[in-house]
Amino acid sequence: MEQTNVPHVMFLPLPAQGHIKPMMKLAELLNQAGSQVTFVNTDHNHDLLMSHTDLTSFHDRSPNFLFRSIPDGLRPGKARSLSNCKELLDTLQAVARPAFRQLLISTSMRPTCIIADGIMSFAAIDVAEELGIPVVTFRTFNASCTWTYFHLSKLVEAGEVPFPDGNLDKSITCIPGYENVLRIRDLPSICRVERADDPVLNFYMRETSTMTRASALILNTFHELEAPVISRLNSIFTKIYTIGPLHALYKSRTKDLMISQSNSSNSVRLWKEDKSCMTWLDSQPLRSVIYVSFGSLVNLTRLQTLEFLHGLVNSGKPFLWVVRPDLIVGESGIDPMELEMVTKERGFIVSWAPQEEVLAHPAVGGFLTHSGWNSTLESITAGVPMICWPQIADQQVNSRCVSEVWKIGFDMKDTCDRSTVEKLVRDLMDSNKREEIMKSTDEFARLANDSVKQGGSSCINLEKLIEDIRSMSP
């Protein structure tokens, strides 16, 4: 492998859009700062990204940026969805490490460092240590959820996982700083298991432990949002870079560098966006629309879809709803076209939306969300309050933080009925409760946007990361 003074950073994300998106933003920022970047996707996601990306404009603004891919172990054509998550994790563990090792030793330019998703530690850290390449771990959760994951083993030891008596409202006692905040129902979805030796639970426990061997931790959050828990994480990682909100930091830096926003990283995507919703939003009154999206993985049953539909219609508020082709599952499902016909009087449906643009639109007054961290952070930055319906991974922790810690929305966790949806939409959009929520929402939006400006905490931390990577170069 060739040695050079130009830093070469290799990225290895977990093969899911919510993990790829923030790591791609950081990869482009480092590339703009002068680093050679190699971004490693699975073959499946590489093909999706290539089919929905304008490669000409991407490479015009991002020279010395390479895409490479490794197998995920699943056969071509097989769905990569929430329903076969365990199978994907199993096959990844079997094939990713040797494939990534081969990629590392065959590259013409030795990586200065590897930035690996914390959940891909099994593939990156052993190999990097063998080859003498530094690793920085990027946990795409927020700091609160990252801290929670570090206490999974203590939750098991304390008998709080698996849930002993089915009381989901029992307070958690063994996560310092969250004793009076998190309940059983607020723990990550991987804790909802029947046995302590559940393979997925134990996989995440191992990955969380393994990632501590990295030299530093990157988090897509900002200091002002989670300062107390970031301080606690310093007991595990002596070096932490909080550089979020990455989507806003990217926009701020590209503006400073006079890079056209039309050529921004929005052109790098796994899903094709339907921008017709922006024209519809233009016709709606100020702060009148509730935006509804459950991300790229969460599914709805027919019954859940009907409950959300009736709740939204009965609220009397116009709504923009992202209905992926694979969103509704199970027998007697609802055809998205049929749903569009039912809602056309008051709502607008698209298969995928340009979410950052939607949340920034003046017509949008609220967000009914699955509470994925990217969506949550984008909503915070845009100053849009939330109704949270979390389902998987970190979403339960995020929704609790939104409702009880930051007080910028409501949590409808473990509930899906039309009366609740109707009430929460009304409360969020035009009740006295909205006035209180908007005080916190506006303040955190200000702090988020200040953090990415020149001299802001996240901007400073990005510069530290850039300099530290340069210092690793021979």
Give catalytic status of residue 117 as yes or no: yes
Look at strands 328-329 and 364-369 and give their pairing: unpaired
Q: Which two tokens stand for residue 260?
A: 């056209």
Residue with tokens 């994480």: 233
Q: Is residue 149 within 8 Å of 204, Cβ to Cβ?
A: yes
> Is 282 among the residues known to form the active site?
no
HSE, CB side, 13 Å, CA atoms: give it for residue 78: 14
Of 384, 399, 472, 465, residue with least CA distance to 219: 465
DSSP string, 146-208: HHHHTTHHHHHHTT-SS-SSS-TTPBP-SSTT-TTT-BGGGS-GGG--SSTT-HHHHHHHHHH
Indicate which residue of 8, 46, 117, 186 is catalytic. 117
Tokens of 327: 């969103």
Distance CA 438, CA 434 (A): 6
- What percent of the chain is helix, strand and coil (3-state, nearest 5)? 50, 15, 35
15: cis peptide before it, omega within 30°?
no
Amino acid, res. 265: S
Helix (H, G, I), strand (E, B) or coil at 355: helix
- Partnered with residue 109 across adjacent β-strands are 2
> Can you say whether residue 32 is alpha, beta or left, with left for phi > 0 and alpha for psi between -120 and 50 degrees?
alpha
* Residue 285 CB neighbours (<10 A): 10
The residues near 222 (Cβ < 8 Å, ≥ 6 apart) are 242, 244, 245, 447, 448, 451, 452, 457, 458
Count of other CB atoms within 10 angstroms of residue 129: 12
Of residues 8, 19, 46, 370, which has the active-site annotation?
Answer: 19
**Distances from the Cα of 390 to the Cα of 143, 386, 395, 398, angstroms:** 17, 12, 5, 8
Name the maximum alpha-carbon separation found in the chain. Answer: 64
Cα separations in angstroms, 365 against 73, 288, 320, 405? 43, 6, 11, 21
Residues identified as active-site? 19, 117
